Structure 1
Amino acid sequence: MLLSFLIVSVLVTVSISTRTFHPDDPWETWKNLFGKRYNTQDEEYLRLNIWLQNAMKVINHNVDFKLGKASFSLALNHLTDLTDEEFVNIDLGVGDGLRSERQMDRDFGKHLIIKLRYFPLSSQKRCGACYAFSALGAIEGQLTKNGLPLTSLSEQQIVDCAKGFTAYGCSGGRPSGAFKYIKKYGIMSQKNYPYKAKVRVCVLYIYLHIYVRCERCCVIKPKTEKALGNAVATIGPISVLVTSNTNNFRHYKNGILYDTECTPRKPVDHGMLLVGFGEENGQKYWILKNSWGKRWGKNGYVYLARDRGNHCKIASAATYPVL
């Protein structure tokens, strides 16, 4: 009875991107949509049960959303068959302070959206390389800001080669570590060193194909949302670390995310790229680019509540490169 109710509820209330589940077999439709294949029947049974538990959470939240009790909606996505522990393992990123270059304390307007077409959406897949995507997104933004052609840089080089710079391959790291590595060794383009979503041996010829180096890395201070807004308005895209280890963040679909599970006690665990901010019906939000592919969230982006007490620690570890 519970299974039947759940499947009916999923059919009625949950969508993935712009598509809905096929009424005959929602589990198979979801698997096909996200390319899910399991090696054994036991593993598939395990994944189905995890999927059902997470689907119920999504359904219950979306009921609240339809009743006007929540400001954002959720959806099933490629992360729905993961346990909380597995989700954490592909979502790592730890950071501490760096030296500051400038104080950011001026006022700007209500809206700022850096041209999103400048930033192609990517997926880190089953590799905890969010720190590399966040750092390189900020460098790519600076290249574009300085009038250079849009070029995707190599996250794989960071995964393979930046050990010793607070970067741990597919097991997490800090954007600041990536910046420090690039200052010393430079970074190749994605074309010359493509992303494989797994740790490999660092190729020895990389230094013959360096695309850019960064001069230094700076932290935004004071660590406030006002300073962060001024930074993205004057500097460009900013690398940030946030708390993302919640069910709401994992399954975010649309709206302005204010997540009560995102408590001050939880540490930052995920690197993202801040590309702007805005306000809708009196609710302020940040615009963040994720590295979980375009089927997650709002076409790969999240609108995170702004000026709500440093929500999800958005301003606690914000950095940018100087080229």
Structure 2
Amino acid sequence: MPSMFGSKFIYLILTVTGLWQYSPAWSASLQGLPMSKRHDQWMVRYGRTYANRAEKERRFEIFKTNVEYIDSFNREGGKPYKLEVNGFADLTNEEFRASRTGYNKPGISSGDRIPMEPALFNGNATPASVDWRVEGAVTPVKDQGNCGCCWAFSAVAAMEGIHKIKNGTLISLSEQELVDCDVDGLDHGCEGGLMDDAFKFIINKGGLTTEADYPYTGDDGVCHMNQTSNPNPAVTITGFIDVPANSESALQLAVASQPVSVAIDAEGYNFQFYGGGVFTGSCGTILNHGVTAVGYGTELDGTKYWMVKNSWGTDWGEDGYIRMERDVSRQEGLCGIAMFPSYPTA
């Protein structure tokens, strides 16, 4: 259970309540400028260039449509979250999802699914709030780029977390090793994959190397290591556990123990341009994106949320995180977050 003393307590208050997020957004300073000027400033901020005038005009029209939607949403208010003009503002939602998601929903033969133990705390009550970042069990937010390998980032984040909890050392592990080497089953690098199958690959191979030794390139490459064995792994796991499906209470129990890989439906402009607050937007259960639940908490107004680490860089959301509404009326959770959670064991 996370400790709450000294500077950790102050950090926990600022992060779990979300009070830190309400600094003025960069895009707000551009409101009132002509849309063409906003686009020019946006291009400078994100280093965006286009091949020719026609491409710039096409991207400007997409940018204009997106920014008008974001401005309208924020003016309307009435939601506990805001949208932000981020680095994805010149992409349609279809283009965005094609490059930034990549979770392949498992079929009945996707893995030897192992049920979660009915209790993880020997009868102790589940903590009211948990934030594994405070405990130093979460590496900095990473960026998958234009590669649909969210499944690898989700699995790696969960593995980094349990290693820190069990061994006391936080090690940034290699997503690229999974992208390049875990290609003989249901995982297919930038074309998508499954967290459970990533765990199985890591178990069968005998571990995973560090990000420093096998750095991320953001594309499908040739495996630089032995695909079947790792004689000197940086981190190993002993197995993985599947949380009972469609139970937010079971997911809460799991997240109270360690960071957990989850899949969500990340479709829609409200997800693409999420800028902060507790996300309560409409979404379905067509799971397409792998992320990692690294905590949970409750807002001052009583709204419960999951703290979720994403892999779209720190410019998106709350420095790369999203707080998603928890304990909703649907058994599968908001955006299907409770449908297929799993976590590695060590």
Shift of 1:108: 2.2
Shift of 1:213: 2.5
Cα distance in structure 2, aligned partners of 1:42 and 1:16 = 30
Residue equivalent to 2:275 = 253
Residue equivalent to 1:218 = 241
Cα distance in structure 2, aligned partners of 1:222 and 1:128 = 24
Output aligned runs, 1:1-323, within 5 Å: 16=25, 20-21=29-30, 23=33, 25-65=37-77, 69-90=78-99, 91-96=101-106, 98-103=113-118, 108-116=126-134, 117=136, 118-185=138-205, 186-204=207-225, 207-234=230-257, 236-260=258-282, 262-263=283-284, 266-280=285-299, 281-308=301-328, 309=330, 310-323=333-346
Cα distance in structure 2, aligned partners of 1:17 and 1:171 = 33
Cα pair 1:104 1:231 within 8 Å, conserved: no
Shift of 1:16: 4.7
For 1:221, what is the secondary structure of its paired residue? coil
Cα pair 2:176 2:217 within 8 Å, conserved: yes
Relative to the length of structure 2, the TM-score reads 0.82
For 1:56, what is the secondary structure of its paired residue? helix
Shift of 1:17: 5.2
Q: 1:92 is aligned with what amino acid?
A: G
**Greater mean alpha carbon deviation, residues 131-140 or residues 36-45:** 36-45
Cα pair 2:80 2:278 within 8 Å, conserved: yes
Structure with greater strand share of residues = 1
Identity %: 30
Cα distance in structure 2, aligned partners of 1:147 and 1:187 = 15
Alignment gaps of 5+ in structure 2? 1-23
Cα distance in structure 1, aligned partners of 2:199 and 2:26 = 34
C-alpha RMSD over aligned residues: 2.0
Q: 1:63 is aligned with what amino acid?
A: R
Alignment gaps of 5+ in structure 1? 1-14
Shift of 1:312: 0.6
**Greater mean alpha carbon deviation, residues 24-33 or residues 291-300:** 24-33
Cα distance in structure 2, aligned partners of 1:16 and 1:173 = 34
Cα distance in structure 2, aligned partners of 1:81 and 1:104 = 47
Cα deviation digits, residues 177-221 of structure 1 (max 9, x gap): 111110111211001000000111111467354212322121101
Cα pair 2:81 2:276 within 8 Å, conserved: yes
Cα deviation digits, residues 136-177 of structure 1 (max 9, x gap): 000000111013321110000111110123211111111111
Q: 2:83 is aligned with what amino acid?
A: L
Cα distance in structure 2, aligned partners of 1:17 and 1:103 = 46
Cα distance in structure 2, aligned partners of 1:122 and 1:320 = 19
Residue equivalent to 1:8 = none
Cα distance in structure 1, aligned partners of 2:231 and 2:245 = 39
For 1:287, what is the secondary structure of its paired residue? strand
Deviant stretches of 4+, over 6 Å:
none
Relative to the length of structure 1, the TM-score reads 0.88
Cα pair 1:170 1:199 within 8 Å, conserved: yes
